Amino acid sequence: MNPSLKLFLALIISLEITFTTHLTGNILIIVAALAYLILSRVPVTKIIKPLLITLIPAAALFSTIAFFSPEHNVRFAWVLVSRLYCYVSVGAAVTLTTPKLDLIHSLEQNCHLPSKFAYGFLAALNLIPRIIQAVKSIRVAGEMRGVTLHWWSPTLYFKAILAAISWADQLAQAMETHGFVEGAPRTAAQVIPLRKVDWACFVVILIVIQLILIALP
Amino acid sequence: MHKHTFHLRDIILLALIAIIFGVIYYATGFIYNALTVALTPVGYGPMANDITIGIWCMAGPLAGFLLRIPGSSFLGEFLGAAVEMFLGNQWGAANLISGVVQGLGTELGFTLTLYKFYNWLTVILTSLTATFVTFGWDWFRNGYNHFAPHMLVVMLVVRFLSMFIFSGVLVKLIANLLKRAHVIKR
């Protein structure tokens, strides 16, 4: 399925289940999303990890609603737990099956996201290892002067942002000297197709989900 | 100021700032889980969310103070959520929705000042709007409408304090440093 359509489908589902309280519907969505992940040959360990991490907020929500709220509404507590797992499984069904480059290219080509956003974002994303390194060196440099920079120290952010400003300037200049022009028409080396099949899939899944959410309790 | 559009450099910078906040917060990410575990037995488990929310929302106000373009706070917050999604945070695509909600919340505070002044009043306004918008979202998302009324009041106050301390005071202190370094123009 086309990456952008897949993303929009996940967003629509996530929004919709936020405002509905159908336990069976939520569970069916979770099962479908997990089945899709397994069929897409995503390693099982990668699927299980987010599910395990979610146990903590899920348990907290459940116990608060079921034991500490005035109504002790156990069914609603289960709805909330299933809702959290819907977010996680539907979200994973997009992020674990779609390479990020494909998704950004698709947003640019199929959804007309301005290229400055697509490539600006990608440029920043690729700097992540350097940012981690920079934050580490700022901290170590502080330690050498006997200053401990905690995560709540304004100085830590200040120094990191100064580095970010110079990187942003340099990167933008580098991209422009290599011929990147904001808003200019571009050709694509990797074309992401948006076929009729993709649209058909999108519409069918959307209709099925509406039916599930309306028909099931 | 006649610079009212985002250029390539601004977009890279906003994304970089979002990543910086993400990287620094990641190291303290255990706080959320530890708080949840500690608060659950007394029935306040979901309050971990209210205590830490100000930390999650720091990138937005900072972007607003730094670039001073309408929309920069929203964009800073949204790009932060997008980065989290791409890094494989457990919420996946749902991150984008939270990003939109938090971005709207912080942006609204700057809108109320008509993008004219950037002082402590702005800090209070963005903290207030961010608190109410995100609380409204959690009302539906996390079933806050089922909580006991006194608990809701406590959570709302705690959320505001968290927003004010982290997304307000801490961000303003960083912005002051940036201003003294002449990085923020005007």
Which residues in chain A are contacts of B3 at CB distance < 8 A?
none
Q: Summarize pLDDT for A176-206 with one digit per residue, the tens.
A: 999 999 988 888 888 999 999 999 999 999 9
CATH architecture of B8-180: Orthogonal Bundle (1.10)
d(CA B146, CA A197): 42
Which residues in chain A are contacts of B16 at CB distance < 8 A?
124, 127, 131, 164, 167-168
pLDDT tens-place values along chain B, 186 residues long = 446 789 999 999 999 999 998 887 776 667 888 888 899 888 888 898 899 899 889 999 999 999 999 999 999 999 988 988 888 777 888 889 999 999 999 999 999 999 999 999 999 999 999 999 999 999 988 888 888 888 899 999 999 999 999 999 999 999 999 999 998 865
Asked if B93 and A90 come within 8 Å (Cβ–Cβ), the reply is: yes
The phi and psi torsions of A193 (rounded to 5 degrees) equal -75, 145
Q: What is the pLDDT of residue B45?
A: 86
Asked if A121 and B23 come within 8 Å (Cβ–Cβ), the reply is: no
Report whether A209 contacts A30 (CB < 8 A): no
Best probe of the A interface among B11, B50, B180, by most A CBs < 10 A, is B11
**Extents of the domains making up chain B:** 8-180
For B174-182, which contacts have Cβ atoms below 8 Å and span 24 or more sequence positions?
B174/A154, B174/A157, B174/A158, B174/A161, B174/B62, B175/B62, B175/B65, B175/B66, B175/B118, B176/A154, B177/A154, B177/A155, B177/A158, B178/A158, B178/A161, B178/A162, B178/B65, B178/B66, B181/A158, B181/A162
d(CA A23, CA A62): 14
Nearest Cα of chain B lies from the Cα of A129 at a distance, in angstroms, of 10
